Chain A
Amino acid sequence: ELKVEQNPLFLSMQEGKNYTIYCNYSTTSDRLYWYRQDPGKSLESLFVLLSNGAVKQEGRLMASLDTKARLSTLHITAAVHDLSATYFCAVGRGSNYQLIWGAGTKLIIKP
């Protein structure tokens, strides 16, 4: 059974600091997704990582995928308050790539 674990589940940090969210998954997959969710809102796609060694960056967020270690990271550089949200990783399973989700990381960035 595919399991996806994120850590930490909660992160409070100061603006300007760097931090990393980790996403481990238990069985082979070559599709990993990162999403952002603001309170009471929908899920916004951040990154789709499709191959080993993939690295994608958008603004202060950078995601990477190591399929051999079954690990993806979401790195936040010089955090700003607007990045406060819950971040989810999800792994694609099966030929239909249904998503198996991590529990989410609630990120609070204090001014």
Chain B
Amino acid sequence: DTAVSQTPKYLVTQMGNDKSIKCEQNLGHDTMYWYKQDSKKFLKIMFSYNNKELIINETVPNRFSPKSPDKAHLNLHINSLELGDSAVYFCASRQEQGSGYTFGSGTRLTVV
């Protein structure tokens, strides 16, 4: 029973394409996040949703658009992919303020 599941695990695509990454959590958590980990392993927040409402939108190109159809799902759609978008994208969820996060297994995106 995977707590936070992401699909796909690997994604290889050409520049200019549009792609989506899906995330689902079965923990009943209220808040979900997208983090990006670059090639140097540095992690950075991208977006956060609380009960389907966008509450954090960091300085991310507007080619990236999160969508939360319900509080258990947070998807990430990326338009016009660029080489610099290559990274590992992690979805995470959290129940209450201060509690630990639960991370998905990550999606390794490679843009060629």
Contact = CB atoms under 8 A, between A and B. Distances in A.
Contacts of A92: 98
Interface residues of A, number: 25
Given A33-B101, A42-B106, A45-B100, A101 B43 contact: yes
Contacts of B56: 94, 96, 98
Interface in B96-112: 97-106
Interface string B25-61: 0000001010100001111110010100001100000
A97 B94 contact: yes
A41 B43 contact: no
A50 B97 CA distance: 11
A95 B97 contact: yes
A31 B45 contact: no
A80 interface: no
A99 B101 contact: yes
Nearest to B44: A101
Nearest to B58: A98
Main secondary structure on chain A at its contact with chain B? strand
A23 interface: no
B52 to A, nearest CB: 14
A90 B55 CA distance: 19
* Central interface residue in A86, A94, A101, by most chain B CB within 10 Å: A101
B42 A103 contact: yes
A42 B90 contact: yes
Given A45-B101, A88-B43, A96-B55, 18 more contacts: A31-B98, A33-B101, A42-B104, A43-B90, A43-B92, A44-B103, A48-B100, A50-B98, A86-B41, A92-B98, A95-B97, A96-B31, A97-B98, A98-B45, A98-B48, A101-B43, A103-B40, A104-B42
9 closest A-B pairs by CB: A101-B43, A45-B100, A43-B103, A48-B100, A42-B105, A98-B45, A42-B103, A104-B41, A31-B98
Interface of A: 30-31, 33, 37, 41-45, 48, 50, 86, 88, 90, 92, 94-101, 103-104
